[in-house]
Amino acid sequence: MTFAAEQRPEDALPTVAGQPDDRRSDELAGETSRFLGASDHAKFWAVQNDDGAICLVIGLQDTSTARTCLAPADFSRRGVWLGHSGPEERVLAFLVPDAMEVEEVPEGMTAVTPWLVAGESTGDAETVRFTVPDDIDSSLAPIEMPLD
């Protein structure tokens, strides 16, 4: 993830019922948040916490948010995934370094970006696999995430 670009208004972290979700924002470096995209039921952000870890944040239809964070070295090796449920929806999201892309999108999911896959279900798939395109010089190894 790159956090060097200037922050845009849409990069602001999600709110719940129009108010900042203060329960979860105290350890996040809000000036680093970047909007990644949206699926039918959720919006997704990447942000760093105060320790420099890379965090994935999910906001569901203005009802709730969830997040998970991983140290940069661990994120580069295995990416991060997060599941979150609201009153009427369940969302799974898988985020990897932006030099990678999803090899095959599991049924019931959408490639929000080449490096972010999200959806309500994983169909019959057992894993989601991300690889580095051949035209990119990178030392990143493929990342395979189990869908259990």
Mean pLDDT of the chain: 81
Residues 6+ apart with CB under 8 A from 92: 81, 82, 83, 109, 118, 119, 120, 121, 122, 147
Q: What percentage of residues in the chain have a pLDDT greater than 90?
A: 20
Question: How many CA atoms, within 13 angstroms, populate the side-chain half-sphere of residue 18?
Answer: 0
Q: What confidence tens digit (pLDDT) does each residue in 69-113 have?
A: 999 999 988 889 898 887 777 888 999 887 888 888 888 888 898
Tokens of 56: 């994935």
Q: What is the pTM of this model?
A: 0.82
pLDDT band at 123 (very low <50, low <70, confident <90, very high): low
Higher pLDDT, 39 or 147: 39
Question: What pLDDT is attached to residue 20?
Answer: 47
pLDDT band at 55 (very low <50, low <70, confident <90, very high): very high
71 vs 89: CA distance, rounded Å = 29
Task: With CA atoms as reference, report the closest residue to 34 among 68, 58, 8, 53.
Answer: 8
132 vs 143: CA distance, rounded Å = 9
Q: Domain spans of the chain?
A: 9-146
List, in sequence order, every residue forming a beta bridge with 47; answer none if it has no partner.
55
pLDDT higher than 80, residue 38: yes
